[in-house]
Structure 1
Amino acid sequence: MQDVLRVGVITGTHGLKGEVKVFPTTDDPKRFKDLKEVLLYTDKDILPLKITGVKFTKNLVVLKFKGFETIEEAEKLKKKELFISRENAVPLEEGEYFIVDLIGLQVVTDDGILLGTLTDVIQTGANDVYVVEGSDKKEILLPAIRECILNTDLEKKIMTVKIPEGLMD
């Protein structure tokens, strides 16, 4: 498991006073209100950035960081990813998982047949859809519902599923 989780990507500047626009990659963008610090990964190192202001505009979050007072300073942050440590992550309910922890799991049927590797999660609104890539490079789309996803074992890196009737036809 990764020690850090991506929560957003800086898309540009906002105004003249060092604020940046962030595209949130978290389920709940409002969680930025509770964050005191994020981690910015550069080519050379990891910079902890103290958050001093949070606003929301359309589908973006506007953040103000301590030490960034001008648009020129904020401009340097464009296209950089923001992360948080796992300790600062939102606590998950039983049966909930971070997407980063699911990617790479081996997916097997309840009959023990290996379907492939979970490569992506599509968030549809109603329920997530797991993308499983088989050895033949074909993709299988599995609805992330209780009737289909029987067990997820992060330690063994295995997800056991029941294939809904007609899905493989």
Structure 2
Amino acid sequence: MEYYNIGKIINTHGIRGEVKVAVTTDFPTLRFKAGNRIFIDAHQSQPIPVVIKSARQQKGFLLLTFVDLEDINLIEKFKNCELMVTKAEQQPLEKGNYYYHEIIGLNVETQTGEKIGTISEITPTGANDVWVVKRPQQADLLLPVIEDVVKQVDLENNRVVVELMEGL
């Protein structure tokens, strides 16, 4: 089964099993509703299914508790573990929007067909994302994801066509 990250447990909060989560999903209210089942990647053979008991915002993070894990001694071992959903639970995106896992690994080329490199990671900056492009024998290229730069995302052919602006 395929799993996709939606957040990361960065610490415990209090003694009643609450955890502090850095959210990485675009759908936090949908993903982290009480009663939802998600998975903890505890680096075992299979992710561990858990059911959300409660969720609340606090200072840019989410505080979660899970059913049957309402004790710091039960939850502490999951610090620094990723929270995930299955592929079947992913939400459909609007045309022109993509999941990170669809973009990472794509080949980047110019409109003239010049090969630049491969997208290795995505950095959200607030205004727009920045794609980090690994280039052979060169420093990484940071590509802002804006219309002036990204001309085409072609998932079928595993490529992104870009127009490099002055200074990139």
- The CA distance in 2 between the partners of 1:105 and 1:32, in whole Å, is 27
Post-superposition Cα deviations, 1:28-84, rounded to whole Å, max 9, x if no partner, equal 543444470111112322111011111111121111111112111111221111111
Q: CA RMSD in A?
A: 1.8
Shift of 1:11: 1.4
Shift of 1:10: 0.9
Aligned to 1:121: 122
Unpaired runs of 5+ residues, structure 1, are: none
Q: Is the 8 A contact 1:32 1:54 kept in 2?
A: no
Using the size of structure 2 for normalisation, the TM-score is: 0.89
Aligned to 2:136: 135
Aligned to 1:10: 9
- The CA distance in 2 between the partners of 1:29 and 1:137, in whole Å, is 37
- The CA distance in 1 between the partners of 2:51 and 2:31, in whole Å, is 12
Q: What is the letter of the counterpart of residue 124 of structure 1?
A: T
- The CA distance in 2 between the partners of 1:68 and 1:118, in whole Å, is 38
Structural mapping, 1:15-30, within 5 Å: 15-30=14-29
Q: Is the 8 A contact 1:151 1:161 kept in 2?
A: yes
- The CA distance in 1 between the partners of 2:10 and 2:121, in whole Å, is 23
Structure 1 residue 39 and structure 2 residue 39: aligned?
yes
Using the size of structure 1 for normalisation, the TM-score is: 0.89
Q: Is the 8 A contact 2:18 2:63 kept in 1?
A: yes
Q: Is the 8 A contact 2:134 2:140 kept in 1?
A: yes
Aligned to 2:93: 92
Residues 34 and 156 (structure 1), Cα distance of their counterparts in 2 relative to 1, 3 Å cut: farther
Structural mapping, 1:56-67, within 5 Å: 56-67=57-68
Q: What is the letter of the counterpart of residue 3 of structure 1?
A: E
Aligned-residue identity in percent: 33
- The CA distance in 1 between the partners of 2:118 and 2:100, in whole Å, is 14
Provide the aligned length of Structure 1 versus Structure 2: 166
- The CA distance in 2 between the partners of 1:25 and 1:66, in whole Å, is 22
SS of equivalent residue, structure 1 residue 50: strand
Q: Is the 8 A contact 2:128 2:144 kept in 1?
A: yes
Moved more, 93-102 or 10-19: 10-19
SS of equivalent residue, structure 1 residue 68: coil
